[in-house]
Amino acid sequence: MTGRIEIRDLRAFGVHGVLDHERERAQPFSVDVDASLDVSSAAESDALGDTVDYGALASAVAAVVRETSFALLEALAAAIARRVLAEDSRVTRVEVVVRKVRPPVAVDVGSVGVRVVDVRRA
């Protein structure tokens, strides 16, 4: 039985961006993560040890946003995807959306973002 762990709108501050003023201080980012895995053992046992701990995943994702710095959202999203795959070998596929909540654009937008997908290689 396949399933996925979903983290929605994780908020963390980080220093990411191309423009000088974006690199001077932390700004808010929003992250969504879909981590695919086999959930059959967890569905049967009802035990946390048989699944991926979404709390641990959320902490790992927030750490990437806070502790790294990238010019592009694509690079940040890819780093998050790699971290999620590294956190638990049961994750077989990960989709990450990173949104800049206060983007430096001349029009009124709620956010701008990118979406990346990565899969575990054998």
Provide the annotated active-site residues. 100
CATH number of domain containing 38: 3.30.1130.10
- Confidence at residue 77, expressed as pLDDT on a 0 to 100 scale: 98
17: left (phi over 0), alpha (psi -120 to 50) or beta: left
Give the model's pLDDT for residue 122. 76
Interval 68-90: pLDDT, tens = 999 999 999 999 999 999 999 99
Give the model's pLDDT for residue 88: 96
**Identity of residue 81:** A
- Into how many domains does the chain fold? 1
Where are the strands (E) in the chain, listed by range?
Answer: 2-14, 27-38, 93-100, 112-119
Alpha helices in the chain (DSSP H): 40-45, 54-67, 73-87
98-114 tens-digit pLDDT: 999 988 899 999 999 99
* pTM of the full structure: 0.95
pLDDT band at 7 (very low <50, low <70, confident <90, very high): very high
What number is the average pLDDT over the span 56-60?
Answer: 97
Domain of residue 104: give its range: 2-119
Among 81, 76, 78, which Cα is nearest to 14's?
Answer: 76
Q: What percent of the chain has pLDDT over 90?
A: 94
The whole-chain average pLDDT of the chain stands at 96
Place of tokens 């638990």: 88
